[in-house]
């Protein structure tokens, strides 16, 4: 291109190129300089792309002591700026320019490329190499940016840029991009299409603060396998479509505080396999419509969801299955639809759902946390609609549900086979639906003081096979309580609020508080709807014997025998009744002495008034009615009276009755003694 062929604007650019000064073609009028109307700019503001291309490739003369560069303002650039495969030694700086065709820098090697505040149909920099800055600050791209496998030794800036999608709906195609610096897409960066940076490597940090990403397809950000050596921030961003960070590696922290992620019914935050060296911050008004999916994620620090809002009706709102993190702070979290899933999650420190509001998701589950491993689990003042399922979990410290309100049409709280190294506090908790603690292992205290459990007509508290150092049952329970085979160190209950029914078969304990009489405790045992089996009586008797109250222990064991009588056959009930009347099953031994004394008195009086005749006159000993009656009553023992006299008539039948009574009395005494010895 000769000097005569250049326009006035091109000649100006040619003159200032050697010194690197600006070729400013603006009029100074904001309306006239608006790049939105750049297509109408006349020849005085038109620069052909081939002119810029020629200067960048060395057609212009260099000025000694100055560094040449193309610096152009307010120009309309016509034609394609095509530097494909070229090596460019000079910087390109365009401000408030309008390009009618997308520049092509494919496989080029360049210095700084700075196109800011401009309008372009697109930009193709696939596999380009830039030693400097690639800056598109506040520029508008109508058809996308291509930077696939490009390498920038500096930073890439898209601050405030507006990028439309290409024919495939891709706004930014930068798979495999390498940036030795920061990638900045903040300050209102807007993309109407997918931002795709799969496998990119950023040695600095990535910034999406205040960005606006939207895509009619599923993903708005596709950053799978991206590596960021610094931090990744996307605060106050609005994303319509998936915010995808699957298998990404971020050495610093990840902050999406105040952002709104929307992809209803699908994944809104895709972070499966995500690795973050620091924490993940999702608070300060953070909200998600769709699933927040962090399956298998690895967070070196905390996951903060304080006062965040999640919704995914009919699905999973928060999925942290098999994730590993330092702490989870979800205090005040609100889930208006969808469940929270923490299956197999490992939290090294505290997991807090205090003040959270959870609603049922799949199958009526508000929270699913089977196999959870955590240091401390806090759910104070939690509000839930749906089941909280935390089976087979391991908690090194305490679990706290103080003041929680749980509602479910089935099971409200399920802590089956959970292992807790310290306490479980449920003071003042309200649960509508069943509470299950079957098979739980609690090293210290399970505290239900002031709790209100309601499951009318069903099981209010299922604590079968529970192991606890202490159980406090000062609570109101509308529904049955099942303590089958539970093992408790100290059982504290309230006799004024004993639930009914109360199933105690197999329950063992070391101490009962408060200390009550056997009569009160027998009322406690009588609440078993199936008829209390022998074991609870034996356990209660053993407790009284242990604390030095043998009379209370005997009263309990006596009550056990009375209770067992109704389950026997007719013959068994008769025999049992005889043992009761005569010796009180061995626990009322004074009854035997009473019967013996009564029969002895009756026989002595009778035979005193009507002594029997001697069998052999002159040989019989002196008749003694008392000793004669005693000889009749005592089996085996021979006092020399019974065989020496021969009563007749009614006295003879009375003697037979006394002999039979003696044998019955002796047999029942022997059976009672044997029973007592066997039980002991």
pLDDT for the residue 633: 63
When pLDDT is averaged across residues 280-301 and rounded to a whole number, the result is 97
What three-state secondary structure class fits 642?
Answer: helix
CATH of domain 584-679: 1.10.287
Asked if residue 309 lies in contact with residue 332, where contact means CB atoms within 8 angstroms, the answer is: no
Beta-carbon contacts of residue 500 (< 8 Å; ≥ 6 apart): 480, 527
Higher pLDDT, 362 or 176: 176
Nearest to 30 by CA among 151, 117, 143: 117
When pLDDT is averaged across residues 470-490 and rounded to a whole number, the result is 95
**pTM for this model (two decimals):** 0.84
Q: Check pLDDT > 90 for residue 186.
A: yes
- Kindly list the distances between the CA atom of residue 73 and the CA atoms of 27, 264, 405, 543, 674, in Å, as whole numbers in the listed order: 10, 44, 65, 95, 113
Looking up tokens 């209010």, which residue turns up?
460
- pLDDT tens sequence across 590-635: 555 666 667 667 766 776 677 776 666 666 677 777 776 666 667 7
pLDDT for the residue 584: 53
* Spatial distance between the Cα atoms of 219 and 267, rounded to a whole number of angstroms: 9
When pLDDT is averaged across residues 439-459 and rounded to a whole number, the result is 96
Q: Check pLDDT > 60 for residue 152.
A: yes
pLDDT for the residue 319: 97
In angstroms, how far is the first alpha carbon of the chain from the final one? Answer: 117
627 backbone dihedrals φ, ψ, rounded to 5°: -70, -35
pLDDT for the residue 570: 65
| Region at 538 (left for phi over 0; alpha for psi -120 to 50; beta for the rest) | alpha
Q: Check pLDDT > 90 for residue 547.
A: no
Give the pLDDT band of residue 515 (cuts 50, 70, 90).
Answer: confident
- pLDDT tens sequence across 85-123: 999 999 999 999 999 999 999 999 999 999 999 999 999
Higher pLDDT, 525 or 648: 525
Higher pLDDT, 576 or 337: 337
pLDDT for the residue 670: 62
Q: Check pLDDT > 90 for residue 576.
A: no
The ranges of the chain annotated as CATH 1.10.287 are 584-679
Give the pLDDT band of residue 1 (cuts 50, 70, 90).
Answer: low
Look at strands 69-73 and 140-141 and give their pairing: unpaired
pLDDT for the residue 524: 85
Q: Check pLDDT > 80 for residue 476.
A: yes
Q: Check pLDDT > 80 for residue 588.
A: no
Q: Check pLDDT > 80 for residue 34.
A: yes
Asked if residue 157 lies in contact with residue 130, where contact means CB atoms within 8 angstroms, the answer is: no
Give the pLDDT band of residue 642 (cuts 50, 70, 90).
Answer: low
* Spatial distance between the Cα atoms of 423 and 412, rounded to a whole number of angstroms: 20
Average pLDDT over the chain, rounded to whole? 89
4: number of Cβ within 10 Å: 6
**DSSP labels for 96-127?**
S-EESS--B-TT-EES-EEEES-EES-EE-TT
- pLDDT tens sequence across 9-23: 999 999 999 999 999
């Amino acid at each position: 291109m000769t000097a005569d062929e250049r326009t006035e604007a091109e000649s100006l650019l040619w003159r200032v190129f050697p010194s690197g000064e600006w070729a400013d073609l603006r009029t100074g009028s904001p309306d006239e300089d608006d790049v939105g109307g750049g297509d109408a700019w006349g020849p005085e503001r038109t620069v052909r792309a081939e002119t810029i291309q020629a200067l960048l490739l060395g057609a212009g003369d260099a000025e000694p002591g100055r560094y040449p560069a193309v610096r152009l303002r307010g120009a309309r650039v016509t034609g394609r700026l095509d530097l494909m495969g070229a090596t460019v030694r000079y910087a390109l700086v365009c401000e408030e320019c309008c390009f009618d065709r997308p520049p092509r820098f494919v496989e080029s090697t360049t210095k700084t490329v700075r196109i800011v505040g401009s309008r372009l149909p697109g930009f193709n920099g696939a596999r380009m190499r830039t030693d400097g800055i690639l800056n598109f600050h506040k520029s508008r791209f109508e058809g996308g940016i291509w930077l696939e496998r490009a390498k920038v030794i500096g930073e890439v800036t898209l601050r405030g840029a507006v990028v439309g999608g290409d024919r495939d709906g891709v706004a930014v195609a930068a798979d495999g991009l390498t940036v030795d610096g920061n990638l900045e897409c903040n300050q209102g960066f807007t993309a109407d299409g997918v931002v795709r940076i799969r496998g990119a490597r950023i040695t600095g940090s990535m910034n999406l603060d205040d960005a606006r990403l939207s895509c009619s397809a599923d993903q708005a950000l596709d950053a799978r396998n991206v590596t960021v050596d610094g931090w990744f921030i996307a605060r106050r961003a609005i994303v319509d479509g998936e915010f995808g960070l699957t298998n990404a590696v971020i050495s610093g922290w990840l902050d999406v505080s105040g952002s709104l992620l929307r992809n209803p019914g699908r994944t809104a935050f895709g972070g499966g396999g995500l690795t973050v060296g620091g924490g993940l911050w999702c608070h300060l008004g953070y909200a998600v419509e769709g699933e927040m999916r962090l399956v298998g994620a690895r967070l070196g620090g905390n996951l903060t969801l304080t006062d965040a809002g999640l919704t995914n009706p009919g699905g999973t709102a928060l999925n942290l299955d098999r994730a590993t993190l330092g702490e989870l702070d979800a205090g005040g979290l609100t889930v208006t639809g969808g469940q929270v899933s923490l299956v197999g999650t490992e939290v090294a420190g505290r997991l807090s759902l205090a003040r959270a509001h959870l609603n049922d998701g799949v199958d009526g589950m508000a929270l699913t946390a089977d196999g959870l491993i955590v240091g401390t689990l806090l759910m104070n003042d939690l509000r839930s609609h749906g089941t909280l399922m935390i089976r087979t979990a391991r908690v090194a410290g305490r679990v706290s549900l103080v003041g929680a309100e749980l509602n479910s049409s089935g099971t409200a709280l399920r802590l089956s086979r959970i292992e807790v190294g310290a306490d479980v506090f449920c003071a003042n908790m309200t649960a509508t639906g069943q509470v299950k603690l079957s098979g739980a292992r609690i090293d210290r205290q399970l505290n239900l003081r002031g709790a209100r459990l309601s499951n009318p007509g069903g099981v209010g508290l299922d604590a079968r096979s529970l192991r606890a150092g202490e159980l406090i049952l000062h609570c109101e329970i509308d529904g049955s309580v099942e303590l089958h085979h539970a093992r408790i160190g100290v059982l504290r209950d309230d006799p004024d609020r004993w639930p009914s029914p109360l199933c105690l078969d197999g329950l063992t304990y070391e101490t009962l508080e408060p200390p009550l009489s056997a009569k009160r405790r027998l009322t406690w045992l009588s609440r078993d709807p199936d008829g209390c089996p022998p074991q609870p009586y034996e356990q209660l008797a053993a407790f009284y014997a242990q604390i030095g109250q043998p009379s209370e222990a005997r009263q309990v064991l006596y009550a056990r025998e009375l209770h067992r009588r109704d389950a026997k056959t007719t013959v068994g009930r008769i025999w049992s009744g005889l043992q009761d009347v005569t010796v009180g099953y061995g626990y009322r031994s004074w009854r035997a002495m009473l019967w013996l004394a009564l029969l002895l008195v009756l026989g002595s009086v009778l035979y005193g008034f009507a002594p029997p005749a001697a069998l052999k006159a002159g040989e019989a000993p002196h008749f003694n009615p008392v000793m004669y009656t005693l000889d009749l009553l005592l089996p085996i023992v021979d006092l020399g009276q019974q065989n020496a006299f021969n009563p007749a008539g009614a006295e003879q039948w009375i003697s037979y009755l006394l002999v039979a009574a003696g044998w019955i009395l002796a047999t029942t005494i022997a059976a009672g003694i044997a029973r007592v010895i066997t039980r002991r």
